[in-house]
Chains A and B, each alone.
Chain A
Amino acid sequence: MTDDPPIAPRRSRSGWGRRLVILAPALWLLLFFVVPCLIVLKISLSQTVIAQPPYTPLLDLSEGLKGVEDFVSGLSVESYKLLGSDTLYIMSYFRSLMIAALSTLILLLIGYPIAYGIARAPRGAQPVLVMAVFLPFLTAFLIRIYAWINILQREGLLNDALIALGVIKAPLVWLATDTAVIIGIVYSYLPFMVLPLYASLEKLDDTLLEAAADLGCPRWKAFWLVTVPLSAAGAAAGALLCFIPIAGEFVIPDLLGGSNAMMIGQTLWTEFFQNKDWPVASAIAIALLVILLFPILVYERLQLRDLEER
């Protein structure tokens, strides 16, 4: 027997174990997620120099208060002025948001019937179907985009198939178009749309639909008035889970899109890796974050509400 009291407290509310459980992930994320974002903000207010690291001012704490003063007076909003004055950047943001919005809409239209179908499948088949939707996501994303290059190129399988079916007479240009980018995005993000939708449809209470039917409501109308509103939270979660990362997407437009018009993720990549302009790249990141702040906050609210409901 130990010296523990016969009836231990139901939950130790202030034990070191509990503190560790909270502090370990919190400190990790603070150091490797929050602090880095603040550094991006700081560097977006710096200026490019040819040096290592390639920006100025540097915060020199060894000089005490004077170091901080020098640092603050050295900050500038040059990079943001550049973003605001050059239509290249503005167009790039605009394009990214348009493509993200259009892709998300298509994802909803394609994803809803699939999620609905899975939710109505026999109970035993559901885990298998969910896994089947999720499995492609687990196999090399880059390579799945590469697969579409094979399909969409001029002598590719899509043109071959369409010509064989008699839909078109001469091969069409698919690759390096916005259509190709949207196909690639829809293909890659489909699981992220289907799974939250399925989760909300699966929970749906049938008695509501039965009640609607008993009261003489036709099935299609019951679908619109009962099923759709009750799955709205799942649809919103899925849409945000797709829209936000798509807006900053780099790989898909880079491999499937044209070289003349870039999405903002590509612009950031180019500024950083090719032009080596760290302050402008940082300013692009911060401005994108500000644009996406509202959808990110809505997404966080949905997640938190989900957490509290359980």
Chain B
Amino acid sequence: MRKGLSLFNVTSIALGLAFLYLPIAILVIYSFNASRLVTVWGGWSTRWYIELLHDSAMLEAAWNSIRIAALSASAATVLGTLAAVALIRAGRFRGRTAFAGMIYAPLVMPEVITGLSLLLLFVAINADRGFWTVVIAHTTVTASFVTVVVQSRLVSFDRSLEEAAMDLGCPPLKTFMVVTLPLIFPAVAAGWMLAFTLSFDDLVIASFSTGPGATTLPMRIYSEVRLGVKPEINAICTVMITVVAIGVIGAALITRRAERRKAKEAVAAG
């Protein structure tokens, strides 16, 4: 598409970003509000952060969520990457359309349906509901998102590199490990991060698939929010935003440095 921004383009981008970021900014500012009343400004204070540190139920829920998100994101990354390779690199196989349909369906499936169906499965097979059932549920839902991210990278890179390796006698698995994986690594990492945040954020599917003793952070926040607005929640939010922002900016810097290094190597070799 032709480049060049008109006033209209700039305004729409600016308004769009303002709409997306203003509520978050307000939350961050109010997390430093000394007043208990959320709508009254009582001066700057860090008291809600200190209260947060003493809320052991909230901290335990956060720790559960981090472990669930890390485990399910890792499993989803393996499954999702395999599925992407199967869709893009495995050629035609019987049932490919059904396979693709099964991969894309969880992307749009309403969460209440997925959550309910997984719970009924766990009841039917008599599984103890708790930490591991949430991990399985989140793996299932987030793997499809990983597939979409990895798939778009797989189609965009030069296939002749893989073919050259195989022509020289490199077995398929080794080709994948030494040629394909390094090339698609940024997408695999992005997929993992996406899966992690989706799991970390999820209320509905976790509520259905969990059991006693495995309360996640969103479940805890939800029960607090239902009781009314609490300034402590603003503080959690700010912590989470900071963590995500650091993660995303860090990942962006790492990929940029890797790409620069690659470009330099290419120049040196060329």
Q: Name 14 interchain pairs, CB-CB below 8 A, sorted by A.
A: A8-B167, A8-B170, A9-B166, A11-B172, A22-B86, A29-B103, A33-B117, A36-B118, A120-B9, A140-B200, A140-B237, A285-B116, A296-B109, A299-B108
Interface segment out of the listed A68-76, A79-87, A142-150? A142-150
Q: Does B83 contact A (CB under 8 A)?
A: yes
Please report the C-alpha to C-alpha distance between residue A197 and residue B93 in the assembled complex, in whole angstroms.
Answer: 31
Name, among A12, A25, A251, A281, the residue most crowded by chain B CB atoms within 10 Å (CB to CB).
Answer: A25
Q: Does A155 contact B (CB under 8 A)?
A: yes
Q: Does A97 contact B (CB under 8 A)?
A: no
Q: Is the CB of B197 within 8 A of A138?
A: yes
Q: Does B59 contact A (CB under 8 A)?
A: no
Q: Is the CB of A245 within 8 A of B5?
A: no
Interface segment out of the listed B50-58, B94-102, B260-268? B94-102
Q: Is the CB of B39 within 8 A of A32?
A: no
Q: Does B227 contact A (CB under 8 A)?
A: no
Q: 8 Å CB contacts to A: which residues of B43-74?
A: none
Please report the C-alpha to C-alpha distance between residue A53 and residue B123 in the assembled complex, in whole angstroms.
Answer: 7
Please report the C-alpha to C-alpha distance between residue A133 and residue B15 in the assembled complex, in whole angstroms.
Answer: 12
Q: Is the CB of B140 within 8 A of A29?
A: yes
Q: Is the CB of B2 within 8 A of A206?
A: yes
- Residues on B with C-beta less than 8 A from A61 are none
Q: Does A105 contact B (CB under 8 A)?
A: no
Q: 8 Å CB contacts to A: which residues of B176-192?
A: 176
Known: A32-B140, A121-B3. A26 touches B102 (CB 8 A): yes
Known: A40-B117, A300-B105. A4 touches B169 (CB 8 A): yes
Q: 8 Å CB contacts to A: which residues of B159-217?
A: 163, 166-173, 176, 193-194, 197, 200-201, 203-204, 207-208
Q: Count residues of A near B (Cβ-Cβ below 8 Å).
A: 106
Q: Does A180 contact B (CB under 8 A)?
A: no
Please report the C-alpha to C-alpha distance between residue A4 and residue B172 in the assembled complex, in whole angstroms.
Answer: 12
Contacting residue for B120 out of A36, A148, A149, A248, CB 8 A: A36
Nearest Cβ distance between residue B202 and chain A, in whole angstroms? 8
Task: Name the CB-closest residue of A to B173.
Answer: A17
Q: Is the CB of B99 within 8 A of A129?
A: no
Q: Does A110 contact B (CB under 8 A)?
A: yes
Contacting residue for A143 out of B21, B140, B236, CB 8 A: B236
Please report the C-alpha to C-alpha distance between residue A265 and residue B111 in the assembled complex, in whole angstroms.
Answer: 9
- Residues on A with C-beta less than 8 A from B24 are 136, 139, 144, 147
Please report the C-alpha to C-alpha distance between residue A245 and residue B198 in the assembled complex, in whole angstroms.
Answer: 15
Q: 8 Å CB contacts to B: which residues of A197-222?
A: 201-204, 206, 209
Q: Does B16 contact A (CB under 8 A)?
A: yes
Known: A28-B79, A117-B12, A285-B113. A139 touches B1 (CB 8 A): no
Q: Does A65 contact B (CB under 8 A)?
A: no
Contacting residue for B225 out of A6, A37, A149, CB 8 A: A149
Q: Does A35 contact B (CB under 8 A)?
A: yes
Q: Does B269 contact A (CB under 8 A)?
A: no
Task: Name the CB-closest residue of A to B93.
Answer: A22
Contacting residue for B102 out of A18, A29, A136, CB 8 A: A29
Q: Does A187 contact B (CB under 8 A)?
A: yes
- Residues on B with C-beta less than 8 A from A201 are 1
The A interface, classified by DSSP as helix, strand, loop or mixed, is: helix
Q: Is the CB of A307 within 8 A of B87?
A: yes
Q: Does B106 contact A (CB under 8 A)?
A: yes
Task: Name the CB-closest residue of A to B22.
Answer: A151
Q: Is the CB of B140 within 8 A of A33?
A: yes
Known: A143-B237, A307-B100. A129 touches B110 (CB 8 A): no
Q: Does B82 contact A (CB under 8 A)?
A: yes
Chain B interface residue number, banded = 35 or more
Q: Does A7 contact B (CB under 8 A)?
A: yes
Please report the C-alpha to C-alpha distance between residue A147 and residue B5 in the assembled complex, in whole angstroms.
Answer: 32
Q: Is the CB of B102 within 8 A of A33?
A: yes
Please report the C-alpha to C-alpha distance between residue A84 and residue B227 in the assembled complex, in whole angstroms.
Answer: 34
- New contact pairs (9) apart from A146-B221, A292-B110, A303-B100, CB-CB < 8 Å: A26-B99, A32-B121, A113-B12, A117-B8, A117-B9, A118-B13, A129-B13, A146-B225, A206-B1
Q: Mark B13-45, 1 if CB is under 8 A from A, else 0.
A: 100110111011011001000000011000000
Task: Name the CB-closest residue of A to B237.
Answer: A143
- Residues on A with C-beta less than 8 A from B176 are 17
Contacting residue for A139 out of B100, B102, B244, CB 8 A: B244
Task: Name the CB-closest residue of B to A127.
Answer: B252
Q: Is the CB of B16 within 8 A of A155?
A: no
- Residues on B with C-beta less than 8 A from A156 are 39
Please report the C-alpha to C-alpha distance between residue A37 and residue B120 in the assembled complex, in whole angstroms.
Answer: 9
Task: Name the CB-closest residue of A to B242.
Answer: A139
Nearest Cβ distance between residue B237 and chain A, in whole angstroms? 4
Contacting residue for B103 out of A25, A132, A135, A141, CB 8 A: A25
Q: Is the CB of A244 within 8 A of B120?
A: no
Name, among A32, A34, A135, A137, the residue most crowded by chain B CB atoms within 10 Å (CB to CB).
Answer: A32
Nearest Cβ distance between residue A149 and chain B, in whole angstroms? 6
Q: Is the CB of A21 within 8 A of B90?
A: yes
